[in-house]
Structure formats: C-alpha cells, structure tokens
Amino acid sequence: MSHVIGIDVSTTATKAILLDDRGTVRGVATSTYDYEIPRPTWSEQDPRLWWRATIEAINEVLEATGVSGSAVEAVGLTGQMHGSVLLDSTGEVVRPAILWNDQRTAAECDEMRRRVGAERLIRITGNDALTGFTAPKLLWVAAHEPENWSRVSHILLPKDYVRYRLTGGFAIDVADGSGTILFDLANRTWSDEVVGALGIDRSILPPTYEGPEITGEVTGEAATSTRLTEGTPVVAGGGDQSANGVGVGAVAPGVVALSLGTSGVVFAATDGPSIEAGGRVHAFCHAVPERWHMMGVMLSAAGSLRWLRDAVAPTKSFEELADGAKEIPPGSEGLIFLPYLTGERTPYPDPNARGAFVGLTVGHDLRHMTRAVMEGVAFGLRDGLDLMREAGLEQPRQIRASGGGMRSEAWRQILADVLEAEIATVDTSEGAAYGAALLAGVGSGWFDTVDRATDEYVTVKPVACPSDEVDLYRSTHSRYKDLYPALKPHFAAGADEVLTQP
C-alpha cells in the first residue's frame, strides 16, 4: 500500500499525518512548542523549533503505524501563514520569525500604502496592508534592525523553512506566497511593482509553485533524521487556510469552509480574484491550480476560549466549560464578548482592538462568560461572512467546519444559528494536514486534479442546523456590531498607554 505524509506547521505544534492510497488516515503524531511574546502585541518563534518538531512527528507516526519510510511516496506541507523567516547566505536563521498574530507593524503598513498607493496595493495584491502580513514585517526589520536586515539572503514562510530543511532548496507555493502581499494576485507570482516600491531585492524571494507541484526531494541528511527515503518528492502544499480548504473539499465555487482554531476563518473558493474594495476580506490564490479564494479572518477564535480557561478557570477542561455553556440560554442573558484579544483583521483591520465583556452583572458566572465567548466568536465570523457576501458570495446553505472548537456541540449549534447555515464536518478532523496530504497525493500521481482527490476522499456529515434562535441572534449581533465603533477610541488610548510605558 502506498502512503503520503501531510505536515502542518502550526503556531503551537507541528503535526504529521500518514494517509494511505484509499484515503484513510493511518496515523497522526504531534509535537508541541511555545512562542514568545517579547512585548505586548508582539509574537515571535524560533524556526528551528518547527524542524525539531517535524522530525519528532514524522518519526512518531511512522513508528506508531509500523509503516516504513520507503512506503511514503510524497510529502505535502502546510502551516501558519504570514510569518517572516529570515535566513542568511548559509541558510542560518537571522532572527526569530515574526508571526501572523504580531501587531507591531502599524507604521510600516502606512508606509506601504504611501509607497504603493492604498488603492493600487489592493488592486494588485487583493489586500490592504495589515499588521499580520509578511511584507510590513520585512519593512520593520529593515527599519529597526538594519544589521539583521543586511544579513538576509532568503525570505521564507514557516512551512517553507521545513521544506528547506527537508530538501535543501528554497520554494514557496502561490497560496502562501499571496499572503505575503508581495504578490500579483491575478498572475499568481511576485509583483515587481510592489517588491520594487518596497525596496526588496527580488533575488531573496523564493521561486513559486502551484500546490500539487513537486518542489524538491528529501536529502540524505533529512532522510537520516526523519526515516523518510532519500529522494522522496516534497510538493508545494499551501498555507494552512488553503490547505484546510482542500482538506474539507472547498476547492470549487459554491463550497464554504470554516476553521475554528486559534484563529477563526471563513473561506470560499472562487474561479478568479474576487477583491473586496476596502481590503477587509482577504483575496489569495488557492492551493488548487487556477483557483483563488476569499477569506475573512479573526485573530482570536478558539484562542479566546483558551484565554478564558487559562485566565479564569485553569483547572477546568474545555469540555467542562462547554457543558456549562449549554446550561445558559442563547444570548447569555445580556452578556456580550468582543473577541479582539490580539487586535483584529476582519472586519476591523485594527491592531489596537481589544477584547471586552459588556453587560456583566452579579447574576453572571463562568457559564455565562463561556457562552458569551462562543457567541462573540460566532458574531465575528458572521461579520466576515457578511463582507464576503457584499463582495459577491451567495449566502451558503451549508458550511464545512473544522478545528478544535468543532468538538463542542454547543458551539456548533451557536455557529449554525448565527451564520444561518447548516454546519457540517468531514470524515477527518485533520483539516490542513489532511489537505497537505491530498496535495501530496495529487503530486505523486494518485489523482490528476485536486477536485478528483476531494471528490474521492472527502465525506461530509451535517452536525447542526439553524434553530428557532436565529432571530434572537440577529438582534444580539446587531448590538454586538455597535460596540466596536463605540469602544474604538478607548482601545486606541489604551494601546498608546502600553506603548509609552518604560
């Protein structure tokens, strides 16, 4: 039996899944790590953690399943988007990677709009300059760490650092590449205009590939570390959201996906670039050749529930919190939560946005707070879906959902009611890693297109339908939308106080 491996380099762990040629996940292994917060709103990670975790995860999944590395036909890669991995001429890490949820680059975003032109930037790249993206991070390093910037010979994204360690070569897929906002979205490659306006040397950017294309082969050194066979092909893969789209079968127009992980994403495939005029909804290349996608992103989705657990109830499990939330009626008895704990991207591209509970009384307890967090996250996802509808997306009848938050029955029902769509899951919970494995399967010749791979291997199961609470949630969502504009001045003032502290 033939196999492929999908590797997902996420913010807190690297996962390896082993998929056989019948579409069955034979094994899953995960190796965890932390990220650093050197200052408020900053987020960094040592890329070498990803490689060590990749070695551990691949070895563990092969050992646990008893499958030899020689039975693995190809490797697919996915991972957290937008991180800035800077390497010198010898391939050594110059500084810790600045991650997707880092918010330090507001001034650099303004500088990008000035150099390229705000409307022109959106027209070329499909996106406004936002703090989470890669390009403003590069400007920040150039401005604040010129000695480090002078050493940079290669720019990669997180999963592509793992690719470099596997193959010894530099490459990037078009889906992740478009998330740097250095891309010509329509032409699916680097934009000479944007790259030139920002003063970035084109030679330090890697070659671009479509998701199922082979980008290199496992080296002898990497084979020794991972137990893979030297010469095993490594395909391009995709950023975590496009790979998750593949993993749940959202590869053609009409299928909408939702990811409820640390961040929250609403995702829809398109036949061409669909650009929201204000850049509030992201437009990227898909990991599927000749396809694009729209995406609304909130930075703290299931991450908001993790914060609540860690800060307020560290002895509670997530299951206990979710069970408590089911005891509280929809609307959380007037309590509303704004999930902007790490700033926000959609619908408010504001690094100064902050989380808040509004409406607390002595009658509220942890159960209310938990349900309010779940509902607030759902409202944030609804904001993104509404913007995508304004950009031309039809209201979906079904949304295919994945991520750790989907284990909660209460949260699934809340999402169905707030998004006014049937919520379905697929027959694997591995999301992006499964999508990376499918791309590897296409690259190794199992299928001639990604569409055929997903038609064959992705099975959909409805898990929640809109209930009689839809009208109540429409009303509560309307109140929710009033809160950010009202609190925005206070968020900005609070951020200024943090920045001026010694």
CB within 8 A of 212, min separation 6: which ones? 235, 236, 287, 289, 439, 440, 442, 443, 450
Question: Is-contact 194 145, C-beta < 8 A?
Answer: no
Q: 3-state DSSP helix/strand/coil percent for the chain, to nearest 5?
A: 40, 20, 35
Both tokens of residue 422? 């049937």
CB within 8 A of 406, min separation 6: which ones? 260, 412, 425, 429, 463
Q: Is 383 in the active site?
A: no
Residue 466: how many other CB atoms lie within 10 Å: 17
CB within 8 A of 420, min separation 6: which ones? 395, 466, 470
Both tokens of residue 415? 């999402």
Question: First CA to last CA across the chain, in angstroms?
Answer: 61
3-class DSSP state for residue 234?
A: strand
Helix axes 134-144, 106-116, angle to 10 degrees: 100
DSSP 350: B
C-alpha angle 65/69/70, rounded to 5°? 125
Please tell me which residue in 176, 240, 350, 383 is annotated as part of the active site.
240
Residue identified by tokens 């699934």 is 412
Residue 34: Cβ-neighbour burial (10 angstroms; 0-12, 13-18, 19+): exposed
Residue 373: Cβ-neighbour burial (10 angstroms; 0-12, 13-18, 19+): buried
Question: Is-contact 143 178, C-beta < 8 A?
Answer: no
Q: By C-alpha distance, which of 384, 429, 376 is closest to 403?
A: 429
Question: Is-contact 240 228, C-beta < 8 A?
Answer: no
* β-bridge partners, 27: 18
Residue 493: how many other CB atoms lie within 10 Å: 10
Strand 282-285, strand 292-298: pairing: antiparallel
Which residues are designated catalytic? 240
